[in-house]
Amino acid sequence: MNQKNNKAMNHIEYNQIIAVDVAKNELVTYDGNRLGKIANKPGSFEKLLADVNADTSELLVVCEATGSYERPLVNWLQQRDIAVHIANPARVRAFAKGKGIQLKNDPVDAKVLMLYAIENKVVASRVPTDTERQITALLDRRSHLSRELTREKNRLEKEPDYTSEFIVKSIEFIKEQIAQIDEQIKQLSEQDKQLKENCDLFSSIKGVGHLTAITVLTYMPEIATVSRNQAVALAGLAPYDRDTGTVKGRRFIQGGRAKIRRCLYMAAVSAARFNPVIRDYVARLIARGKPFKCAIVAAMRKLIIHMHSQLKLKLNQIEKNAICA
């Protein structure tokens, strides 16, 4: 664990914070006193540190997750061991509304991000390994191809014969690409001893395949350090109340990491058939009148809790053995 990760664990306060509003072509920065603007490309990132003291060990850079535009900056900072916190944009926006800030533009967003970081005492996000970065990129690409494969199959159903052959070739090409990506993901996960062990641990659960295991481990790397309820919430599977007065509304799930949730759905459908515990659990829920999809969501929640518990048990055993040694 490097210095910045130690800070995150110990909640050490940072002497200087720089908030960065990320756009496709430019970054708007705010250090608490003045605004700045630089290009969103590695050659310009040095300008971000122009007014920073020579020692960057007490610096924290805060930006929002944009899907991909923040990645070059985040990678550049983490490679230089500079702490960076990647904020959830929905939470930042809700924070702004709570403060009565309705105006939204890049300079305002940077100032709101600074206020959010200070009041919430945010800490550095976990630094992913090179293997995790590669696997995450491959999983993202696999997701793109899977969606396109579904679209092509839907087109094929109503396409005339004289154009269907082109779609068939496209489908075959996409399937080949997905197979190659799966093989690369498998090779990368086997090169990392700890990742391989954790994948094997999760895959031992009936219904959870290698793809589901590696998806949870790379998109939720903090699964071993959070509580069971936090893991459920991070996956977007926590049932939230909708009550007011004497009215008891239906519980619902929201937020969380959709990529994990999509993968867990297919795992839960499989587990509902082949995992005796999950199968009986789903059957009981349906017998009580729960819709099938609600029962599957409950099964997804049970799966992520089981995975979390298995990993915790493994880590606790390792720690116990280390103490005994």
Q: Which of 95, 120, 145 is the last residue of a domain?
A: 120
Q: Which of 96, 120, 144 is the last residue of a domain?
A: 120
54-83 pLDDT, tens digit per residue, is 577 788 999 998 878 888 899 888 888 889
236-266 pLDDT, tens digit per residue, is 888 877 777 777 777 777 778 889 999 999 9
213 occurs within a structural domain: no
289 occurs within a structural domain: yes
Give the chain's radius of gyration (CA, Å): 23
Between helices 130-157 and 210-219, what is the axis angle to 10°? Answer: 130
124-135 pLDDT, tens digit per residue, is 888 788 898 899
158 occurs within a structural domain: no
The CATH number covering residue 79 comes to 3.30.420
b/e 267-306 (16+ beta carbons within 10 angstroms → b): bbbbbbeebeebbebbeebeeeeeeeebbbbbbbbbbbbb
| Res. 5: pLDDT tops 60 | no
Between helices 276-287 and 258-274, what is the axis angle to 10°? Answer: 90
pLDDT given at position 54: 59
Picking from 212, 208, 214, 209, the residue whose alpha carbon sits closest to that of residue 189 is 214
The token pair that represents 273 in the structure block? 């058939």
Residue of 324 and 116 predicted with greater confidence: 116
Distance between CA atoms of 283 and 20, rounded to whole angstroms? 49
pLDDT given at position 1: 38
The token pair that represents 203 in the structure block? 């895959």
| Res. 217: pLDDT tops 70 | yes
Q: To the nearest 10°, report the CA torsion of 126, 127, 131, 133.
A: 90
Label residue 53 by pLDDT band (50, 70, 90). low
2 residue type, one letter: N
pLDDT given at position 325: 67
| Res. 324: pLDDT tops 80 | no
Q: Which of 120, 151, 171 is the last residue of a domain?
A: 120
Q: Is 81 left (phi over 0), alpha (psi -120 to 50) or beta?
A: left
Label residue 3 by pLDDT band (50, 70, 90). very low
Average model confidence (pLDDT) across the chain: 87
Domain total in the chain: 2
98 occurs within a structural domain: yes
Distance between CA atoms of 46 and 33, rounded to whole angstroms? 19
Residues 6+ away with beta carbon under 8 Å from 174: 145, 148, 149, 152
273 occurs within a structural domain: yes
Q: Which residue has the tokens 């867990």?
A: 264
Report the percent of the chain where pLDDT is more than 90: 52
Report the percent of the chain where pLDDT is more than 70: 94
301 occurs within a structural domain: yes
84 residue type, one letter: V
Helices (H), the chain: 3-10, 71-79, 89-98, 106-120, 130-157, 161-191, 193-203, 210-219, 228-234, 258-274, 276-287, 292-324
In the predicted model, what is the mean pLDDT of residues 212-234?
Answer: 91
Distance between CA atoms of 94 and 105, rounded to whole angstroms? 15
306 lies in which domain range?
221-324
99-117 pLDDT, tens digit per residue, is 898 888 989 999 999 999 9
Q: Rounded to the nearest 5 degrees, what angle is found at the Cα of 268, between the Cα atoms of 257 and 283?
A: 135
CB of 140 closer than 8 Å to CB of 151: no
Question: What 3-state class would DSSP assign to 247?
Answer: strand
pLDDT given at position 142: 95
274-294 pLDDT, tens digit per residue, is 999 999 999 999 999 999 999
CB of 300 closer than 8 Å to CB of 268: yes
35 residue type, one letter: L
pLDDT given at position 8: 41
7-30 pLDDT, tens digit per residue, is 444 445 678 899 999 998 899 999
28 occurs within a structural domain: yes
89 occurs within a structural domain: yes
